[in-house]
A and B are shown apart, each in its own frame.
Chain A
Amino acid sequence: MPSKFKSLLDSGKFVITSEIGPPKGTNIEKMLHHIDILKDKVDGINVTDHQSSVMRFPSIGGCLAIEERGGEPILQMTCRDRNRMALQAELLFAYIRGVRNVLCLTGDAVPVGDHKEAKGVFDLDSVQLLRTIRTMESGKDLGGNELDGTVKFCAGAIVTPEANPIEPQLIKFEKKVEAGAEFFQTQAVYDLDKFARFMQFARRFPVKVLAGIVLLSSAKMAKYMTDNVPGIFVPQNLIDELANAPKGTALSKGIEIAGRMVATLKKEAMCDGVHIMAIGKEEVVPDILAAAGV
């Protein structure tokens, strides 16, 4: 049986996902609170996997909490911290615990995080991880051995539509599609004209694309992301809009901008859904959805 999320993707509905980041430590209250806020408002909740290479409570733990609370988890799996044996083992575990959606990522580099001296693994890459899922679904592991009980996942991947240069990323996008990716969640998009050009390319492939929406909480944050986060480019008019918001209302303006983008993407049927990343401000995701009228 396909996952709830997969059924929604295939239904043609404009799908909405969001994400949570597990805590550094055992105090999971805030994470559970975020799950409770989001679980009935979105179609799937991603759980990040030591995002930015910062050691945290594991993504599978967050996914089980979502599952227990009646939400639809999307397990983010990076190749940074586990070799092919550990990745396969975790997929087996995720499956028997009801987690049916996996987002396959390479993972950020170790030195950008908070355990700079750790050994990065990268035994597999994101394309190989996608293929690993398909191999396991066929009843075999990567060693060619029979599995006693197989898995079935809705597998996804990411793409950066505004990367420079873009063509290497598009080649990798194609390889991910060929490897079995069913959906893509994109890096943040702000320039809808550029995104439309990307979608012209992506529409040639039988995959669903959810546009990444990162909440802008201030003009400073928008500038910081443009300068420091690969593939994110916030156009000057949006930075001005945030800067010109009356004091203390930048976040509301950011919610308004995000809502407006979601509404436009949906109205113009530019893509199949959105993936909203509020980065620590998960509380306001319902406000973004309200602003978008979805």
Chain B
Amino acid sequence: MKSITKQKTFDEITQQLQDFNRIFIAGCGTCATLTRTGGVEEVADIKEKLVSQGKLVTGSLVIPVACDDMTEALAKENNISLKSAQVVLVMACALGVHRMSQYVNIPVIPALDTLFIGIDDGQGSFHEVCAQCGQCVLGEMADICPITACHKGLLNGPCGGTNNGKCEVDKEKDCAWTLIYNRLKEQNRLDAMRKYQPPKNYQVMPRPRVLKVM
């Protein structure tokens, strides 16, 4: 699983930081490093830009995994530079922002927008494959999720907007239902596509979602 992010514009970042002069910056060594939005280089880059704007960066680091309890340990380790900061700028996905906010009592500001949970194709592109709907239909859909891969999240086949295997919202994007059709056909399983899919339960676990395992 990778949490796919994109960096906010520098204007938006500085706007969020306008009331603060002393800033601590935290990146993430996992997903945000892979997407080049919050790794060592990006943290250094933002730091340089903020300094050139007259901001004081009290400290910066790249947390190996910003969404787990490593953040707590590193927050303790960097207690002094965190204490002297007025704000923490987090260059990780929203999970990292949440983690950090559990351990400090000053504002925690996201430098990134969290886009989706995806996988990479090994060629520098990331693809959304799961919408975390709580009711997985992959088994009947040739392992292609129509909730995620179809713009409209249709469950019973393609809309009339598809053309030559592409989606009506973007000719560069594949029509999920053409992909599902092709793969089911290849597997000699087109009956799965003929099966009626009833309206989806959008409240499998009403938000906010919580799962206790112990």
Q: Are the CB atoms of A127 and B157 closer together than 8 Å?
A: yes
10 A-B residue pairs with CB within 8 Å: A80-B152, A108-B168, A125-B152, A125-B156, A128-B156, A128-B197, A142-B199, A168-B162, A169-B158, A171-B193
> Once the chains bind, are A230 and B168 in contact (CB under 8 Å)?
yes
Say if the beta carbon of A124 comes within 8 Å of chain B. yes
Shortest A181–chain B CB gap in Å is: 12
- With A and B bound together, what is the CA distance between A165 and B181 in angstroms? 10
Collect the chain A residues with CB atoms within 8 Å of residue B163's CB. Answer: 163-164, 230-231
Asked if A51 is an interface residue, CB under 8 A from chain B, the answer is no
Interface residues of B in 169-214 (CB under 8 A from A): 169, 177-178, 181, 185, 190, 193-194, 196-200, 202
Contact of B154 with A by CB under 8 A:
yes
The answer to whether B95 has its CB under 8 Å from any CB of chain A is: no
Bound state CA distance, A175 and B181, in angstroms? 15
A167 to chain B, nearest CB (A): 7
Which residues 34-62 in A have Cβ within 8 Å of B in the complex?
none
B199–A123 touching, CB < 8 Å: yes
Q: How many residue pairs, one in A and one in B, have C-beta atoms under 8 Å apart?
A: 93
Chain B 104-123 against A: per-residue CB contact (8 Å), 1 yes, 0 no?
00000000000000000000
The smallest C-beta distance from B131 to any residue of chain A, in angstroms, reads: 12
Cβ contacts under 8 Å, B194 to chain A: 171, 174-175
Residue of A at shortest CB range from B198?
A128
The answer to whether A109 and B169 touch across the interface, beta carbons within 8 angstroms, is: yes
Q: Are A179 and B196 CB-contacts (below 8 A) given A111-B169, A125-B152, A168-B178?
A: yes
Per-residue interface assignment for chain A, residues 101 to 142, with 1 indicating a CB less than 8 Å from any chain B CB and 0 otherwise? 000001111011000000010111111100110000000001
Chain A residues near B200 (CB-CB < 8 A)? 123
Q: Which B residues touch A13, using CB under 8 A?
A: none
A123 to B155: give the CA distance in the assembly, Å.
Answer: 10
In the complex, what residues of B have CB within 8 A of residue A123's CB?
199-200, 202
Give bound CA distance, A230 to B163, whole Å.
5
B175 to chain A, nearest CB (A): 8
Which residues of A are found within 8 Å of B181, using beta-carbon distances? Answer: 165, 167-168, 171
For the residues of B in contact with A, the DSSP-based class is: loop
Asked if A178 is an interface residue, CB under 8 A from chain B, the answer is yes
Kindly state whether residue A218 has any CB partner on chain B within 8 Å.
no
Q: Mark A144-181, 1 if CB is under 8 A from B, else 0.
A: 00000000000000111001110111011011001100
Does chain B have a CB within 8 A of A18? no
The verdict on A84 contacting chain B, using a C-beta distance below 8 Å, is yes
Q: How far is the CA of A174 from the CA of B178 in the complex (A)?
A: 17
Which chain A residues border B198 with CB–CB below 8 Å? Answer: 128, 131
Contact B157–A109 (Cβ < 8 Å): no
Report the bound CA distance from A87 to B156 in whole Å. Answer: 18
User: Are the CB atoms of B157 and A172 closer together than 8 Å?
Assistant: yes
Complex partner residue of A163 from B155, B160, B185, CB under 8 angstroms? B160
| Distance, CA A179 to CA B156, complexed state (A) | 11
Which residue on chain A has the smallest CB distance to residue B158? A168
Q: Does A187 count as interface, using CB distance less than 8 angstroms?
A: yes
Give Cα A159 to B164, complex, Å: 16
Q: Contact at A175–B168, with CB atoms within 8 Å? A: no
Q: In the bound complex, what is the Cα–Cα distance between A114 and B119 (angstroms)? A: 32
Residue numbers in B under 8 Å from A187 (CB-CB): 160
A174 (CB) vs chain B CBs: closest residue: B194
Tell whether, in the assembled complex, residue B196 and residue A231 are in contact, meaning their CB atoms are under 8 Å apart: no
| CA distance in complex: A248, B151 (Å) | 41
**Which A residue sits closest to B157, measured CB to CB?**
A172
What chain B residues lie within 8 Å of A142 (beta carbons)? 199
CB within 8 Å of A: which of B144-161?
151-161
B165 sits at the interface (CB 8 A): yes
Contacts of B178 in A (CB 8 A): 165, 168
Of A124, A179, A230, the contact of B161 (CB 8 Å cutoff): A230
Chain A contacts for B169, CB-based, 8 A: 109, 111-112
- Select one of A112, A160, A164, A174 contacting B160, CB under 8 A: A160
